[in-house]
Structure 1
Amino acid sequence: MGESRSWPRLAVLGIGYAGLPLAVAAAAIGYRTWGVDTDPRVVAQVNDGISHVDTVGDGELTAVRERLTATTDPACLSQCSVIVICVPTPVDADGQPNLTALTAAAVAVRDALRPGQLVIVESTTYPGTTDGHVRGLLEESGLRAGVDFSLAYSPERVDPGNPVYRLGNTPKLVGGLTPVCRDRATAFYSRFVQHVHPTPGTREAEAAKIFENTYRQVNIALVNEFARFCHAVDIDVWETLRAVETKPFGFSGFRPSAGVGGHCIPVDPLYLVHRAHEVGLNFHMAETAQSVNEAMPGWVAERAAAQLAADGTAPRDARVLLLGATYKRDVADARNAPCVELASRLRTMGTDVAFHDPHICTLVIDGVTLHRAPDVDEAVRVADLVVVVQHHKEYGDDLLGRARRIFYTSEPAELPNGVSL
């Protein structure tokens, strides 16, 4: 499986939150890089030097424009020594893994596969996918994984909005179908990632990624359920958490919220549950945590309705403004954002719901497109209740101080008109 020592050509399938930073990082150190995506709008933006994700700045794209080309045409795959698959792996309406995009990407690679190439999967998936489903598709080419071409798995560890940890300084897990596959993938990533941690095989790397996010799901569910308990017995959950966090060992801090969002935490544990069921096991912690967090938007809606009633306003007669509709503070990613379910629950009560978010313009609620309030100051002033779902930096005390009543689903500011979880 010979190769050019410089590995000058790279293709990244899927140039979203995981794929685009990878493509930019590789291009920045000299790789001739192609970013392949099925969305022509994304392709056009990247080629114009406009980033559509928080994890890459426009300046970073402009700096590598001569070495990075976005395209919808997978013909470039046959020219590349390294191919990395970074496509989405969501769940379907029944909470089951949806490998449609991963399958399509693997088929595209299969049709272009040639001896000596290194194929890496970064998409989050259940253990056994890379050496099973993906390997099977690729070997339909007649080439053998681990013999004619190398196959590895290296999960993305992207944290949108994190100013400290980015691709280069976040440790990278790498598992290969064979030791040679692992070593080739390790050598590739070591060119632009400070620390690469090899695992015995692809399944250990796949399992590590899913467990990381299941750990977060479980602990978020724990603190969310604790917040509901504290409310029921009249305990300040925020002061309690501050007290607990003084312990210098044996505790990692998490914060209650209106629910979990993004691509990873609401989705990845379901891949773990799916795989456990396939081998005849139940993963009770993951399933329970999923249920707790999925119930949070409904509970927040009930709390909002109770607050309105306490102020003498029935939900059906109320105007409620939701501030911050993305899944995370100061991030423009609205995937699986709890604000959507919260808005749906309030609308079911007959409430007139508006939203504002500086990062996104629309939300789709029960099939209806809701446009953000054009004037946030006016929207805050006229609302019977303002629910702060994500406390973006744009929402200062001057703005929130104009509200009649505020309900914080995140740690509250000290304003006289506010209540919190």
Structure 2
Amino acid sequence: MISKDTDPGAFQSLLGALKDCSARIGVIGLGYVGLPLVELFAGCGFRVLGFDIDSSKVERLQAGESYIGHISSERVSALRDGGHFTATSDFSRLTEVDAILICVPTPLGKHREPDLSAVIATGQSIGRYLRRGQLVILESTTYPGTTRDVLKPELEAGGLVAGRDFYLAYSPEREDPGNPKFSAGTIPKVVGGYDEMSGQLAQALYGAAVPEVVPVTSCEVAEACKILENTYRAVNIALVNELKLVFERMGIDVWEVIDAAKTKPFGFQAFYPGPGLGGHCIPIDPFYLTWVAHTYGLHTRFIELAGEINTAMPHHVIDRVTAALNDAGKAVKGSRILVLGAAYKPNVDDCRESPAVELMELLQDRGATVSYSDPHVPALPLMRGRTVRLESTPLSAETLSAQDCVLIATDHKAFDWELILTHSSLVIDTRGATRKALAERTGPSHVIKA
């Protein structure tokens, strides 16, 4: 519904500015989601003002430097030099923009409950400077109802009213860092408005930058869409992780099974097992849905079971490492163990929720001497809930031969698998990364699949 109190002139003015790219866009949170959005809108001719509470990020961006592996410093310099992008930590400058996109973290709390502190704090910051006629869009992954029940009250605290004085919408981020096939400018954007006019404005904004906008009837539908997408993936990964345990016991190679199954041209989509879930979305979103379902008196047993399976995988890997070392006459305590890969997926520098980091901590807790090698992660960043602090070790024949065990946690293309197999005495492969190299070898294998 369109409020009778809404100023139609302000609506038409903003709509026109969004359509002809003359509006100024503010992006709050300049990380793996926010920075690609900055590049997307600046590339379409919008003037973009980026906000972040981390002053070191702002300084680096203003100097033309990138801190994200798949976005080069040359691209950041081009944004800055083109005059379409400025970064700042001064939130009073929110008054300068016409549309505000919120791209802040939404992690889990200590008891796997939603932690919306960043969304709330951002809403409070916006609320202090919000002016009439602005459009606010939340992109952070969250549960259905967050935009309306959590963000809106913070924005309205100063007296302005959503749907009358300002516009509000939700559009879930769909970033896949490091994926060369998809980028912010090629992925369809789902958009749900708080009201009809908010939805129209959000559609106009994204419609100026992406090839397809998918409008839905409410913020809640758009929020639920994101939760569905990642819960679908989490459940299917849990299924294949459980099948890996079954096939492992039966002496069947799960990766060979998947390769065979995916030749079916219909009714099957390949998912792959691993040492656990990583990234900001898949390990988190199902727990957001489970939490909000509980508030409605419902228990999502299927999703909760999938979560139990996935969160148990790092411990399964440690059990495999322990057993393999025992067979070699060694204990985990005192053993030198090199973890290959710190990022949560191949060929990126993103360590958010990475199972590799959890594996390092579990091994350290058991007394192992742990090191890691990752060409994309020179040093482990500070991570919420993690205490391990290490720097990457360059791979060499000497380094590999000095280890009691090499644990493959991430299958980066940059790794030389032949070098690794030749100079390692024991390899634990959680990703099926060595299959091709092993197929070309003869004799007994020193690789354990986990």
Classify the TM-score, shorter chain: over 0.9
Amino acid at match of 1:234: G
| Structure 1, unaligned runs of 5 or more | none
Provide the identity percentage.
42
Task: Say if 2:258 is the partner of 1:241.
Answer: yes
Task: Say if 2:418 is the partner of 1:398.
Answer: yes
Cα distance in 2 between the residues matched to 1:279 and 1:404: 53
Change (3 A) 1:117 1:55: farther
2:390 equivalent in structure 1: 370
Match of 1:370, SS state, is coil
* Contact 1:8–1:30 (8 Å) recurs in 2: no
Structure 1 counterpart of 2:227, from 210, 219, 235: 210
Q: With the length of structure 2 as denominator, give the TM-score of the two structures.
A: 0.90
* Contact 1:54–1:160 (8 Å) recurs in 2: no
* Contact 1:298–1:341 (8 Å) recurs in 2: no
Cα distance in 1 between the residues matched to 2:26 and 2:70: 19
2:97 equivalent in structure 1: 80
Count of aligned positions:
421
Structure 2 counterpart of 1:29, from 32, 44, 51: 44
1:160 equivalent in structure 2: 177
1:135 equivalent in structure 2: 152
1:411 equivalent in structure 2: 432
Match of 1:33, SS state, is strand
Per-residue CA shift, 1:34-54, capped at 9, x if unaligned? Answer: 110010111111111222224
Task: Say if 2:35 is the partner of 1:15.
Answer: no
Cα distance in 2 between the residues matched to 1:368 and 1:410: 22
Shift of 1:362: 3.1
Structure 2 counterpart of 1:108, from 105, 108, 125: 125
Shift of 1:262: 1.0
Structure 2 counterpart of 1:347, from 364, 375, 385: 364
Task: Say if 2:399 is the partner of 1:379.
Answer: yes
* Contact 1:412–1:418 (8 Å) recurs in 2: no
Change (3 A) 1:366 1:197: closer
Match of 2:137, SS state, is strand
State how 1:233-382 maps to structure 2 within 5 Å.
233-363=250-380, 367-374=387-394, 376-382=396-402
Amino acid at match of 1:226: L
Cα distance in 1 between the residues matched to 2:345 and 2:111: 25
Cα distance in 1 between the residues matched to 2:433 and 2:417: 11
| Structure 2, unaligned runs of 5 or more | 1-6, 439-444
Amino acid at match of 1:232: R
* Contact 2:65–2:73 (8 Å) recurs in 1: yes
1:40 equivalent in structure 2: 55
Per-residue CA shift, 1:155-192, capped at 9, x if unaligned? Answer: 10000110011011101000001111111100000111
Shift of 1:368: 4.3
2:3 equivalent in structure 1: none
Match of 1:362, SS state, is coil
Match of 2:289, SS state, is helix
Per-residue CA shift, 1:359-401, capped at 9, x if unaligned? Answer: 2233479634223225544321211111111111121133212
* Contact 2:61–2:87 (8 Å) recurs in 1: yes
Change (3 A) 1:239 1:125: same
2:71 equivalent in structure 1: 56
| More divergent stretch after superposition (372-381 vs 224-233) | 372-381
* Contact 1:17–1:55 (8 Å) recurs in 2: no
Shift of 1:201: 0.4
Structure 2 counterpart of 1:91, from 100, 108, 112: 108
| More divergent stretch after superposition (134-143 vs 326-335) | 134-143
Amino acid at match of 1:404: S
* Contact 1:17–1:54 (8 Å) recurs in 2: no
* Contact 2:144–2:221 (8 Å) recurs in 1: yes
Cα distance in 1 between the residues matched to 2:334 and 2:43: 56
Per-residue CA shift, 1:267-312, capped at 9, x if unaligned? Answer: 1111111110111111112211111111111110110111112222
Shift of 1:55: 4.8
Task: Say if 2:197 is the partner of 1:197.
Answer: no
Match of 1:205, SS state, is helix
Match of 1:223, SS state, is helix
Structure 2 counterpart of 1:122, from 134, 139, 146: 139
Per-residue CA shift, 1:64-106, capped at 9, x if unaligned? Answer: 2121111111111111111111111111111111111111111
Cα distance in 2 between the residues matched to 1:55 and 1:148: 39
Structure 2 counterpart of 1:389, from 406, 409, 419: 409
* Contact 1:89–1:98 (8 Å) recurs in 2: yes
Change (3 A) 1:119 1:55: farther
2:442 equivalent in structure 1: none
Amino acid at match of 1:380: L
Match of 2:390, SS state, is strand
Task: Say if 2:91 is the partner of 1:71.
Answer: no
Q: With the length of structure 1 as denominator, give the TM-score of the two structures.
A: 0.96
Cα distance in 2 between the residues matched to 1:339 and 1:360: 12
Match of 2:410, SS state, is coil
